[in-house]
């Protein structure tokens, strides 16, 4: 019997789960090695002491005691909770309470088993976020195809309008009033053509040539252009390390940075703040990142601000064409849609994190190529 108890003790101590046995007076009767290591105590410093002593009075009364009482009433209890042991990082644990019955069928003890599930929960959160990004990608591709087809047809009609307008200008040269009306029509047509060009950029109907681009140089140039556009209350910081080479179009990458930078400025226009731009090389795990990742190594371009931030329902839609939070006449709602289209054309991807009052951060990933 003694040999069997030693074997059970060996099994319990070999487990990474935290195991303990507590009686109805909330006194520890047994603990395994992992449990002692978590509390940074020896076994003799735990056994014989109350749970309130080990966990501190407030935590015991506000949290642990209720679960022990349910267990002593004959119920199995299971829950997940984030908490932090002294000197350790905050972790997520799956905690189970099992009633221990004596020969009379009475619950005399509670067996408590806690398992660290932090990595699993973090992977699940990452997976959920990436699934949401994948759905967004599919939706944006469908919108892009539709927008591209409409833009092509609309461009033909606008071309006819502008062509007849140009010819009509010669016919009514001496009629000043008519010419003013006609100029208004032609100006509106040209603005429509500009909007069509933006839609075609988004829908990727116009494919621009991609060359080897040192992205550091593009970012540095964009930062120089952004600096005079900022109010005196806004500080710009730029961080970069090694030189990174991508296959892309420098003008379009430049456009992306300027667009996001100006948006960040607008978000900080009232109170000022910090616009931070950073560039680094990252190693991407295929099991975690999007399934259509084209490379293991990416250039990660981050553009963050300390501005007003956004609610989740807005952040989920900001890359949609014609979606804007600006007042009528202040924007077409195509800026971030074009940014999204450019990044996808570079076989990269973009994400945004934002909370009201906590600013926003856009992370852009572009596949790296070898310099040789």
CATH code (residue 356): 3.30.565.10
Predicted pLDDT at 126: 73
Predicted pLDDT at 18: 93
Contact status, residue 96 vs residue 120, Cβ threshold 8 Å:
no
Q: Are residues 245 and 156 in the same domain?
A: no
Total number of domains constituting the chain:
3
Q: Are residues 319 and 304 in the same domain?
A: yes
Q: Are residues 111 and 236 in the same domain?
A: no
Q: Are residues 172 and 47 in the same domain?
A: no
Q: Are residues 139 and 28 in the same domain?
A: no
Sequence-distant (≥ 6) Cβ neighbours of residue 76 within 8 angstroms: 96, 97, 98, 99
Contact status, residue 277 vs residue 239, Cβ threshold 8 Å:
yes
d(C-alpha 23, C-alpha 50), whole Å: 9
Q: Are residues 245 and 347 in the same domain?
A: yes
Sequence-distant (≥ 6) Cβ neighbours of residue 290 within 8 angstroms: 130, 133, 134, 137, 349
Task: Supply the CATH number for residue 38's domain.
Answer: 3.30.450.20
- What stretches of the chain adopt beta strand conformation (E)? 18-23, 28-31, 77-83, 91-101, 107-116, 211-214, 234-240, 245-248, 273-283, 297-305, 349-354, 360-367
Indicate the SS3 state at residue 272: coil
Contact status, residue 326 vs residue 316, Cβ threshold 8 Å:
no
Predicted pLDDT at 286: 43
Please identify, among 66, 95, 116, the residue that sits at the C-terminal boundary of a domain. 116
Q: Are residues 127 and 146 in the same domain?
A: yes
The distance between the two most distant Cα atoms of the chain, rounded to a whole number of Å, is: 116
Contact status, residue 281 vs residue 299, Cβ threshold 8 Å:
yes
Please identify, among 100, 116, 132, the residue that sits at the C-terminal boundary of a domain. 116
Q: Are residues 189 and 107 in the same domain?
A: no
d(C-alpha 206, C-alpha 200), whole Å: 6
Q: Which domain holds residue 172?
A: 117-206
Contact status, residue 322 vs residue 235, Cβ threshold 8 Å:
no
Q: Are residues 87 and 42 in the same domain?
A: yes
Predicted pLDDT at 83: 78
Q: Are residues 109 and 155 in the same domain?
A: no
d(C-alpha 172, C-alpha 167), whole Å: 9
Q: At 49, give phi and psi (nearest 5°).
A: -100, 160
Please identify, among 84, 116, 148, the residue that sits at the C-terminal boundary of a domain. 116
pTM above 0.85, yes or no: no
* Ranges of the chain with pLDDT below 70: 1-3, 87, 129-153, 155, 195-208, 284-295, 322-334, 372
Q: Are residues 275 and 134 in the same domain?
A: no
Q: Are residues 353 and 263 in the same domain?
A: yes
């Amino acid at each position: 019997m003694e040999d069997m108890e030693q074997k059970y003790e060996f099994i319990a101590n070999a487990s990474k789960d935290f195991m303990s046995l507590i009686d109805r007076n909330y006194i520890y009767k047994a603990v395994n090695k992992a449990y002692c290591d978590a509390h940074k105590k020896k076994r003799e410093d735990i056994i014989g002491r109350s749970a309130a002593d080990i966990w501190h009075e407030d935590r015991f009364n506000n949290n642990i005691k209720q679960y022990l009482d349910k267990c002593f009433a004959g119920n199995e209890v299971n829950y997940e909770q984030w908490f932090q042991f002294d000197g350790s990082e905050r972790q997520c644990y799956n905690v189970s309470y099992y009633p221990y019955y004596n020969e009379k069928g009475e619950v005399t003890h509670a067996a408590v088993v806690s398992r660290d599930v932090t990595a699993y929960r973090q992977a699940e959160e990452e997976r959920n976020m990436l699934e949401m990004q994948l759905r967004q990608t599919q939706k944006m591709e469908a919108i892009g195809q539709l927008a591209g087809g409409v833009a092509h047809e609309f461009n033909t009609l606008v071309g006819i309008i502008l062509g007849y307008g140009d010819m009509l200008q010669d016919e009514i040269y001496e009629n000043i009033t008519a010419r003013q009306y006609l100029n208004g029509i032609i100006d509106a047509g040209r603005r429509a053509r500009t909007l069509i060009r933006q839609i075609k950029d988004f829908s990727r109907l116009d494919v621009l040539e991609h060359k080897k681009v040192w992205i550091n140089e593009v970012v540095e140039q964009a930062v120089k252009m952004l600096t005079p556009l900022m109010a005196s209350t806004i500080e710009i910081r730029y961080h970069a390390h090694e030189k990174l080479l991508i296959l892309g179009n420098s003008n379009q990458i430049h456009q992306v940075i300027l667009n996001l930078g100006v948006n960040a400025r607008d978000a900080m226009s009232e109170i000022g703040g910090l616009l931070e731009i950073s560039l680094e090389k990252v190693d991407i795990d295929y099991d975690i990142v999007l399934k259509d990742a084209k490379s293991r190594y990416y250039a990660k371009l981050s553009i963050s601000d300390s501005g007003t931030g956004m609610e989740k329902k807005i952040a989920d839609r900001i890359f949609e064409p014609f979606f804007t939070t600006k007042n009528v006449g202040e924007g077409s709602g195509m800026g971030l849609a074009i940014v999204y289209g450019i990044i996808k054309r570079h076989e990269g991807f973009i994400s945004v994190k934002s909370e009201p009052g906590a600013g926003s951060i856009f992370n852009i990933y572009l596949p790296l190529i070898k310099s040789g």
